[in-house]
Chains A and B, each alone.
Chain A
Amino acid sequence: MLLTDQKAKFLFEKAHAIRQSIIDMLIEAKSGHTAGPLDMADIFSYLYFHALKHDPKKPDWTYRDRLVLSNGHICPVLYAVMAHSGYFPISELKTLRKFKSRLQGHPQRDFLSSLETSSGPLGSGLSQAVGMVLAERIDFGKTSSKKFVCMMSDGELDAGNSWEAILLAGKERIQNLTVFVDRNNIQIDGFTEDIMPLNPLADKWRSFNWHVQEIDGHNFHAIDGAWTQAVSVFDRPSVIIAYTIPSKGIPEFERKYEWHGKPPTTPQEIETAKKAMHSVRTMGGKVCGEHE
């Protein structure tokens, strides 16, 4: 589907609403991850509001595309796009991480059946996505048009299990799998290249027989171009390494690994986050927000 300028603008606004929801959820939950959900808001918005075939009214629709969230800790962004798509009420987002909530701290299918998988422990989501594609190939051969997407973090590429899955997908030459790596360069203990260097990351994937693209993860036309190319690759799995700015949308938090695994909790932090959201919504005070 062509991404018109008008649609790109729509997605930009959607992504902002998603970021707003993420901040609201985290402030309410008082725990959780900030950097990853915010930096993946654009790609998730692109997938849920433009690229993927899915029906919130029929979450178990057989022919839906499948999105596997491997880095389960960024689930606030998944919950937010699901709520904004209509899988459940947006008001439910505020139950994140609360007792008996469907929105568990890390995604759990028992609680929210419209999830494709439960996740949290890093490095095993890609294995599941590869398994899904292999099962699809057994049933429908190589011509299936169903798309399988796996969302991964860069930090989880430290895990050996990730590379076992990357090896297998390369060996099997599966064609309808696209991985997005959130290349935000941070993990809990610091910057990825200090903790466990991954570069040259694109070369690594390429040497495992993957089709590799590197993009700006906040540019909808770049995301669209990469996606269009990825789904047209026939004989290889595809990875899109998306360079993102951790905590994108809150300038004071951006690029700081300290925001990987905590929410805004102090009055000052909450104020900063809310102000940033307001500032984007009003284009720096030039226009009124839609609800003002």
Chain B
Amino acid sequence: MSSSEKGRVAASPGAAPAASGREPATETGQAPWRYAPAPESRDVVSIASEYGLFVAGDFRPAADGAAFATINPATEEQLARVAAAGADDVDAAVVAARTAYEQVWGPMPGSERAKYLFRIARQLQERAREFAVLESLDNGKPIRETRDVDIPLAAAHFFYYAGWADKLEHAGFGPDPRPLGVAGQVIPWNFPLLMAAWKLAPALAAGNTCVLKPAETTPLTALLLAEVCQEAGLPPGVVNVLTGAGDTGAALVSHPGVDKVAFTGSTEVGKQIARGVAGTRKKLTLELGGKAANIVFDDAPIEQAVEGIVNGIFFNQGHVCCAGSRLLVQESVAESVVERLQRRLATLRLGDPLDKNTDIGAINSRQQLDRIEELTRAGEAEGAQRWSPACPLPEKGYWFPPTVFTGVSQSHRIAREEIFGPVLSVLTFRTPDEAVVKANNTPYGLSAGIWTEKGSRILWLAQKLRAGVIWANTYNRFDPASPFGGYQESGYGREGGRHGLAAYLNA
């Protein structure tokens, strides 16, 4: 029997490869291979209908009984009601933190503080699945990210700083560095638990006590963390959690009983806070916005560079201060890179955050979605060309498809302003010098990416780029041992590493 008589079908060479299983039957007539829904079960976490503030070791309603709802941005369903802390609550929390600092935590030897932090770290690992599901429900980000990135890193931060608590005299800040006292810490909604870990772990290790204000739209994992602190036996008042909106945060940072203020959020609010603490002698660290350049040279390892571009702007739906939101691609390869990028984007899966195969989750809130939409409209009006892969959006919830703008210049709003969404602006450059000039031409300075096979060029660019975090041939890598923070209007102070202790010591 000859080959042809065996009834085999010759594949037609000319057809272009199709994107992931959303198209009609292949040439062989078989049904397309679609991944079945693979939802992580919600049952692993129990969500109460109401939550109080965590002050002095216990949960209590707001003094005036105020409360507000937190919703699941993927479905708009209400998850719970949480207390809204008012001025009296802020006062009570600061007093509790002060008392704990003076009587318990401040005098406690570092080796004992360390053991509390180890307990918390361990609990985060034990209850990892619970935290991951809760974070995805409250924030809208995919379970793959909370499970594989957010929660493990949060635990790792507690482990890392636990180990510093009894070694402060070796940290390079003098023979007897002292904590500052009570830290008022305001964190954003994009990595709720991770940001809480970034704030609490070094502060506690250094001997401070904390009053933490999670973001309005994402309070739940901070409250679960408070439960973990309780179970770890953390002395009352060492960590306090005040849920609330912007006014709660403002009251906290301006409270005279707070010695140290740490804020992660927008540059605009960061400046307001800096003005607010002026003249008060409160120490301040800020981690603010960014508009990072992800620079791709003609000799980049192109397959991985495309992954790096995708990761850079679409990880966490682009809700990342260090997102690679400007692709600076060498003009000679720009067309080919954009083409590959578009093909790759067609394989991204947008949908239910609890589905283990989802790559892109929901936008965190209506306000954020509005802002993204406003800026993308501006991008179109400015003359850039907009493209998204075919991407059906669920009916309920807040969604935005991955979007790429080509033909963008420095003078476009979408190249200047932080969109904080899954929107990439593509600009070109001709030479390494030009790449540096364009990359640095921004008041921000948080992060940058470099893609090239040439070692000397990587090191040269790393020297020239004015950014606090530089990823070469990789992107969006985080580690508790690695200092993170910005130049210029992206803020000051570093979180992570030995340097992360500086914010919480009188060094």
Bound pair: A and B?
A: no
| A interface list, Cβ under 8 A from B | none
